[in-house]
Amino acid sequence: MIYFNNVSKIYNRNSRALEDVTLTVTAGEFVSIVGHSGAGKSTLVKMILADEHPSDGTVFFESVNVHKLKNKELTKLRRRIGVVFQDFRLLSNKTAYENIAFAMEAAGKTNEEIASDVPHVLELVDLADKIYSFPNQMSGGEQQRLAIARAIINQPELIIADEPTGNLDPINTYEIIQILKKINDLGTTVILTTHNRGVIDSVGKRVITLEKGKIIRDDKEGKYVI
């Protein structure tokens, strides 16, 4: 599904975010990218979205070089990917329902589809009772579950979760990881970046370890070993 071919990202001679990274993520996998702050985790996932461009090498989504796409084609590609961020990025002036509806409207969904699908996805992330709540009326864990609901509402093929538990306590962290595992069990590919040892050990799936922009480990059923 995703293939990095000898990808490097060099900001200047003293800053190498990625160095000669080659990896493959197949459809349906749950892959955790781990490493200390500055290891290159966020740069790597930004390459998939073409938010960053490689200094060398190529990034493919299926058979498409993502960095050769024109704006219209890139927009279509990004609609196949759901992204969850550490800082939620919810619309503070919109309810839970409206936050998700906004994402559906942007994808061209009808009012009937929105009315049908939003309650269903909120139930999936255990937020059915928060449908008309605003983000500031919700806990951090609830806000992140809402962000996940928004990311999956248009049925993307890939979810990128970039440090999604960084601002959460252990209980909410556990709940978020269980939801991501449930999404993966339903067939969606998940790429998770984190530096949380407990998260990695609880997932029990493939772990790619980055250090100073290089892949130093790629374990099929790994644990956090840095």
Identity (one letter) of the amino acid at 10?
I
Give SS3 for 42.
helix
* pLDDT, position 195: 85
Task: State residue 202's pLDDT score.
Answer: 84
Looking at residue 224, its pLDDT comes to: 64
What is the pLDDT confidence band of residue 186, given thresholds at 50, 70 and 90? very high
Average pLDDT over every residue of 120-128: 96
Tally of helices (H runs) and strands (E runs) in the chain:
7, 10
> Looking at residue 15, what is its pLDDT?
83
Q: Is it the case that residue 201 has pLDDT exceeding 90?
A: no
DSSP symbols for 128-197: GGGTT--GGGS-HHHHHHHHHHHHHTT--SEEEEESTTTTS-HHHHHHHHHHHHHHHHTT-EEEEEE--H
pLDDT of residue 223: 67
Does the pTM of the predicted model rise above 0.75?
Answer: yes
Cα 144 to Cα 89: distance, rounded to the nearest angstrom:
9
Residue-level pLDDT at 160? 97
- pLDDT tens by residue, 42-62: 999 999 999 999 999 999 999
| CB burial of residue 83 (10 Å; 0-12, 13-18, 19+) | buried
pLDDT, tens digit, 9 for 90 and up, residues 127-177: 999 999 999 999 999 999 999 999 999 999 999 999 999 889 999 999 999
In this structure, are residues 166 and 140 in contact, taking their beta carbons and an 8 Å threshold?
A: no
Cα angle 211-212-215, degrees, rounded to a multiple of 5: 45
Smallest CA-to-CA distance from 192 within 67, 80, 86, 59 is with 86
Instruction: Report which of residues 197 and 171 the model is more confident about.
Output: 171
Residue 213 pLDDT greater than 80, yes or no: yes
- Mean pLDDT for the chain overall: 94
The strand pair at 2-12 and 56-61 is best described as: antiparallel
